[in-house]
């Protein structure tokens, strides 16, 4: 239910993102979802990958600053209003969200990556409301 997200700190210069994706590809690590937050000097690449421990190791070997963070993956139908219903649950249960991002596939539904301040409470509240949560191994069956 709780997934390790890999975060990489990147200098804002040409080719750095491509370098990360090549390192992951060479290590046969699949990248399923990502988001980039940036400032003028650096960016934070947050990723859901097939092997977070291996991803951290190979990126550190290549002198990237890397860390893992626990996140929750909630699956919802890919139709209007689904995200709103998910957010209603989290608001009602007073689950604070630091950040989130999502991806969807037409027939497979949408997956929202949630970084709450209290991960275990988020999982508990979503399960209470019968929200489908994904384990890491289920993500790669989509």
> Distance (Å, rounded) from C-alpha 39 to C-alpha 126?
33
The rounded radius of gyration (Å) of the Cα atoms in the chain is 16
| 0.85 surpassed by pTM | yes
Domain ranges of the chain: 2-68, 71-139
pLDDT score recorded for residue 119: 97
pLDDT score recorded for residue 51: 93
CATH number, domain 71-139: 3.30.2130.10
Mean per-residue pLDDT, 66-95: 95
104 pLDDT above the threshold of 90: no
71-139 shares the fold of 2-68: yes
Mean per-residue pLDDT, 110-114: 94
Mean per-residue pLDDT, 3-20: 92
Q: What is the pLDDT of residues 116-142, one digit of tens each?
A: 999 999 999 999 999 999 987 776 655
Non-local CB neighbours of 22 within 8 Å, separated by 6+ positions: none
CATH number, domain 2-68: 3.30.2130.10
Q: What is the pLDDT of residues 13-66, one digit of tens each?
A: 888 999 999 999 999 999 988 999 887 788 999 999 999 999 999 999 999 999
> Distance (Å, rounded) from C-alpha 87 to C-alpha 68?
24
Burial 95-127 (b: 16+ CB within 10 A, else e): beeeebbbebeeeeebbbbbbbeebeebbebbe
């Amino acid at each position: 239910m709780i997934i390790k997200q890999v975060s990489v700190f990147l200098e804002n210069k040409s080719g750095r993102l491509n370098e990360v994706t090549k390192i992951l590809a060479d290590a046969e690590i699949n990248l399923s979802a990502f988001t980039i937050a940036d400032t003028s000097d650096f960016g934070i690449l947050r990723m859901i990958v097939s092997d977070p421990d291996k991803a951290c190791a190979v990126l550190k070997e290549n002198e990237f600053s890397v860390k893992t963070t626990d996140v929750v993956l909630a699956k919802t139908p890919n139709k209007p209003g689904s995200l709103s219903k998910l957010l209603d649950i989290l608001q009602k249960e007073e689950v604070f969200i630091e950040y989130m991002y999502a991806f969807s596939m037409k027939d497979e539904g949408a997956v929202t990556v949630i970084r709450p301040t209290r991960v275990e409470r988020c999982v508990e509240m979503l399960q209470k409301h019968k929200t489908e949560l994904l384990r890491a191994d289920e993500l790669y069956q989509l």
